[in-house]
Amino acid sequence: MSLKQNLHNLKEKYKGKKIAPLFNGFHTFLYLPNETTHGGTHIKAADDLKRTMNTVIMALIPCLLFGMFNAGYQHHLATGEVEKITGFFSGSFWSLSNLWVGAIKVLPLVIVSYVVGLAIEFVFCIIKGHEIEEGYLVTGMLVPLIVPVDLPLWMLAVAVAFGVVIGKEVFGGTGMNILNPALTIRAFLFFAYPTWMSGDKVWVHDAVNRAGSADAISGETILGSYAQNQEVAYSMFEKFFGFIPGSVGETSTFLILLGAAFLIFTKIGSWRIIVSTFVGAAVMGLIFNAVASNGIIPDTSKFYGLMSASWYDHLMIGGLAFGAVYMATDPVTASQTNKGKWIYGFLIGFISIMIRVFNPAYPEGVFLAILLMNVFAPTIDHYVVQGNVKKRLKRAKVKTA
């Protein structure tokens, strides 16, 4: 008997039972469902929700791999085992031990994120009797990339449970949530465990400690250094390509931009939102630069460090680029109209830098800005549509007259 026939027999066996959605979820993970929609007019296309989610995951894989490498590199750099990377052909760049040390810490975050999140998805699909929704495929990959590498696994598990249940399932599941689930998880961690999410620590794990025990070394991240008015000793090369401390997947602006190009090419990510977010951040950065350079804010002020950071530095440090490409473009929670996307993205970038500067205790405001604009996205679209309606009514009156 063929594999196809066996799967068909199993499907018939579980048909109508509570566990049927669970079986269908595993069955269609790599195979196209053999069911079609009924009634109404539908657009025929080769893509579906699962393919869309898998495409976003492919765009995230480079950030994940580099995040593991960078975690190991920051560890070896702090312990003095390697020197700073000055180019792609320096010896330390090709050290597999960097990737290995980072993988030891990052992969458990990925596993916990998927196990807890998908388990809750399975429970809800069985209780409600609907098919498994593939929305968490992307959320499960995003979450480990936007948290510190040393975040305790139990904290991540609690936050994922909160984010999936409160951020998505209570609204009806994938496609119905008003807030980005991954950012809801990050917000929960920020408010519940602020000391772990403060952004002022660099994780370093001495896996081969001479004394035979684990050790940890802490130091300022690049945003923390700016917020404390300290000198930032990172070159443009390091900032752009990501050889700086930070959350797992958001340090390499280069790889994030490559991911953006891939998402735009596949027509999954909105280039309007991405571009307008960068423009909004640059405008706010230039405004703060003008304020700092004119002496309105003294260099002893607690706001001076991030105000004096150049506008292009703001685009490369912290999670701004990652948020603009992978979070702000979420089609469920973002604006839907073209003009609305420009407004939505611009305000995200503008508010992100404002929060970053005026909140030196936690110098990162991207996720708060995106969550805020998630709430206002329907309002933006409403006024854009009403504006178009009014213009058409005026044109209609002119023609009638």
- Residue 32 within any structural domain of the chain: no
Q: What is the pLDDT of residue 306?
A: 85
- Residue 350 within any structural domain of the chain: yes
Neighbours of 49 (CB within 10 A): 13
Residue 334 and residue 346: Cα distance in Å, rounded?
Answer: 12
- Burial category of 290 from C-beta neighbours within 10 Å (exposed 0-12, middle 13-18, buried 19 and up): exposed
**pTM of the full predicted structure?**
0.85
Q: What is the pLDDT of residue 215?
A: 42
- Residue 44 within any structural domain of the chain: no
Q: What is the pLDDT of residue 375?
A: 93
Measured CA distances, 26 to 7, 30, 112 (Å): 11, 8, 19
- Residue 23 within any structural domain of the chain: no
- Residue 342 within any structural domain of the chain: yes
Measured CA distances, 359 to 162, 246, 352 (Å): 25, 17, 11
Measured CA distances, 314 to 3, 279, 287, 303 (Å): 54, 11, 12, 14
Residue 182 and residue 56: Cα distance in Å, rounded?
Answer: 14
Bridge partner residues of 216 (DSSP): 205
Q: What residue numbers bound the domain in which 349 lies? A: 265-389
- Burial category of 370 from C-beta neighbours within 10 Å (exposed 0-12, middle 13-18, buried 19 and up): buried
- Residue 359 within any structural domain of the chain: yes
Provide the number of structural domains found in the chain. 1
Q: Are 323 and 370 in contact (CB under 8 A)?
A: yes
Four-residue CA torsion sign, 111, 116, 119, 124: negative
pLDDT per residue as tens digits for the range 135-164 = 788 999 999 999 888 889 999 999 999 999
Residue-by-residue pLDDT tens, the chain, 401 positions: 554 555 455 455 555 555 556 555 555 655 555 556 666 555 666 666 677 888 999 999 999 999 999 888 888 877 777 777 766 666 555 678 888 888 998 999 999 999 999 888 888 877 776 666 677 889 999 999 998 888 899 999 999 999 998 888 888 777 778 889 999 999 999 888 887 776 555 555 544 443 333 344 444 567 777 777 777 778 888 899 988 888 899 999 999 999 999 999 999 999 999 999 999 999 999 999 998 888 788 777 777 888 888 999 999 988 899 999 999 999 889 999 999 999 999 999 999 999 988 886 676 789 899 999 999 999 999 999 999 998 888 887 776 76
pLDDT per residue as tens digits for the range 219-230 = 456 777 777 777
- Residue 385 within any structural domain of the chain: yes
Structure token digits, residue 326? 């992978």
Q: Are 70 and 243 in contact (CB under 8 A)?
A: yes
- Residue 384 within any structural domain of the chain: yes
pLDDT per residue as tens digits for the range 285-312 = 999 999 888 878 877 777 788 888 899 9
